[in-house]
């Protein structure tokens, strides 16, 4: 299977702890996105990369959140000092952008529960 892979699938942590999620995009895709989804809502954009460059960050992304995509391959999303409000499904998506309209391919997500 060469789809978007996310690890772990589930993460339970205590408030105040740091967590890190990993995303492996489809190999030939140059764009990688992070979204967050809470119950009853659609996915909300957090940030995206084109190759290794982080091109946009949402206002939703507080300074406790940091994302990296070293060498333009896999990406990590770290949340420091987690809060209960961070509990959500974190979705990674990738696409191959040529400057036109694009469709995103999503991974299965990481479900974060902050106790």
Task: Compute the least distance from the CB of residue 70 to another protein, in Å.
Answer: 22
Which residues partner with 53 through β-bridges? Answer: 50
Rounded to whole angstroms, the Cα distance separating 44 from 30 reads 20
Helix (H) or strand (E) holding 57: strand 53-57
Residue-wise burial string across 40-49, b where 16 or more C-beta atoms lie within 10 A, e elsewhere: eeebeebbbb
Per-residue binding string, another protein, 17-56, x by CB under 8 A, is ----------------x------xxxxxx--x------xx
| 104 interacts with another protein by CB under 8 A | yes
Smallest gap from residue 16 Cβ to another protein (A): 27
Query: Would you tell me which residues interact with another protein (CB under 8 A)?
Result: 4, 6, 33, 40-45, 48, 55-56, 91, 93, 97, 100-109
């Amino acid at each position: 299977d060469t789809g978007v892979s996310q690890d772990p699938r589930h993460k339970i942590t205590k408030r105040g702890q740091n967590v890190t999620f990993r995303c492996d995009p489809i190999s030939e895709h140059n764009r990688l996105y992070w979204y967050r989804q809470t119950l009853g809502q659609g996915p909300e954009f957090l940030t995206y990369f084109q190759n290794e460059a982080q091109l946009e960050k949402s206002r939703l992304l507080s300074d406790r959140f940091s994302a990296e995509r070293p060498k333009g391959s896999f990406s990590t999303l770290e949340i420091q000092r987690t809060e209960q409000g961070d509990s959500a499904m974190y979705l990674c998506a990738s696409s191959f952008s040529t400057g036109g309209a694009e469709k995103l391919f999503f991974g299965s997500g990481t479900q974060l529960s902050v106790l």
